[in-house]
Amino acid sequence: MTLGSAISSATNASHPAYAVRSNSRPNSREIGKQRTQALSNGLIRAVVRPLLPLPIGAPSIPTERDLLYHVRTCTLHDLVSTSNSIGFWQSHALPLSHAVEPVKFALCALGGAHRQFKAQRGGEPMSHDFESIAIQQYNQAISCISICLMSPSEKNMEVTLTCCIIFICIENLFGRYTKAVGYLRSAYALFKHVQESTPLLQSSTQESPTSNTALSGVFTSIADILFRLNIDVAFYIGSDACPDAIPPHVKDIEMEFPARPFASYVDAEASFNLMKRVGNARWYLKSQGRLMHEWDRFRPETTIYDTSLVPHELAFLAPYFLHWNARFDLFKQQADRSSATHNALRRIATLELYQSVWLALLKCRTLETDFSPSDCSAIMDCAEALLRLEPSETSPAFAFDGVIVPAVCLTLHYCEDEATQRRGINLLRTIRRREGVWDSQEMSDVFEAMVTARRKDLIAWDAIPYNIPSIAKRLSGLNMPDLRFPQELLLLGAEMAD
């Protein structure tokens, strides 16, 4: 049973219209107790997945302190290297793990899964079976959530949603993408239910703030993270993983003329992230036929930028990006990179990668138009510059969501030039990086097969699908006996097709 259906059955069963008639009317306290119990049962059945089987001979080693230390010193560094989710992890998840057992066990499982990923993908010998250790911690977290959900309070829902986000990371580390998408859907359905039934969350949208503003801020952060993960998965699979996704709350975008340089890379980053949130939310609502009239307030009243030739899907955000682009270029002209910290340089390089992708997109007449080789080269130059700022480790890296890998894949999707494609494939093959569901090694295999199939005239350029699972499925049906794709990639494509 999915979380959405469980919540639906639980809430319907507790409604008076569905109750069995009796001679005596239950009092309000009894009705409240029945509703709470019904909801608890539904949530437990939906969120709490079956315990994972342990491998034979699994060790029983008390490594919680070591695992949490690994999370703090290594895992989080990977997770947020090119992401702006550091606030969720450092200000919410880690502090919560000191007081709440489900989060502690979930983070321990994340640490074990991360150590297993780095050792296994890096070909390093392991002193312990970290997969077994991670599964033990994972199962303890699931058992604790069962108890936690027996009393579905707002705090317990916050804990459960936090664990769902951690579980998504764990499943992606293990390469179980279908399970990661399952947890994403569960988290969304749970968040939607909490939003509809919790007065505190409803009060956060009112003019008068409550005394629980900080807690409401946690749910806002969770909503933003879930929405970003959903967009990330949607780009990968070519369809919406969560049709009922809830866009995060956003504020107005300000445009001032003439354009002035950003005061810092932090301001440039905040402005770009706001633009992305507004654009993603608007596109998503429009694709679902749910575009609300209040989103029209984000349309710029005046603009000096000509957007008549940009793809119509990007016309809404084009003036904002071009204004941001002008300000960012001015900032880069006056920035002293020689005195900048390593973190500042990395975040500026991340923005430059986004900038190169957007500039390429806005040159297209439609979203089906190919990129020029020069634009693809600019994107890969930025990706390589960003990678040079990453630690020069031999072990692979795992990031929270897609940045570098999907950007390189975009050039392979949008450029027919084989030399450009070969450069992109070689880049993917050398970086050994997984960003959410985007694995550089898996993507290099997919696009290597695509180039080979085209060279053998087994598939035409215009017959190649625009999402990863469909490309893999299409190539798997060709006469290429040596072709092997991860089963999870094909399963995800099959699940999305159902």
User: Which residue's structure tokens are 């890969």?
Assistant: 380
Two tokens, residue 492: 């995800």
Helix 373-388 with 404-414: angle, nearest 10 deg: 160
pLDDT of residue 145: 83
First and final C-alpha spacing in the chain: 16
**pLDDT at position 307:** 65
What tokens does 116 get? 């297993």
Please give the distance of CA 372 from its chain centroid, rounded to a whole number: 28
Q: How many CB atoms within 10 Å of residue 63?
A: 20
Q: List the chain residues with pLDDT less than 70.
A: 1-63, 82-83, 122-128, 197-216, 243-253, 283-310, 312, 392-394, 493-498
Residue 136 has which token pair? 């033990």
Domain residue limits, the chain: 48-237, 265-497
- The token pair that represents 268 in the structure block: 């440039």
Give the pLDDT confidence of 443-488 residue by residue, as tens digits: 999 999 999 999 899 989 888 888 898 898 888 888 787 777 888 8
Is residue 219 within 8 A of residue 92, CB to CB? The reply is no
ω into 258 cis (within 30 of 0): yes
* Per-residue pLDDT at 302: 52
pTM: 0.81
**Which pLDDT belongs to residue 285?**
66
Residues 418, 98 contacting (CB under 8 angstroms): no
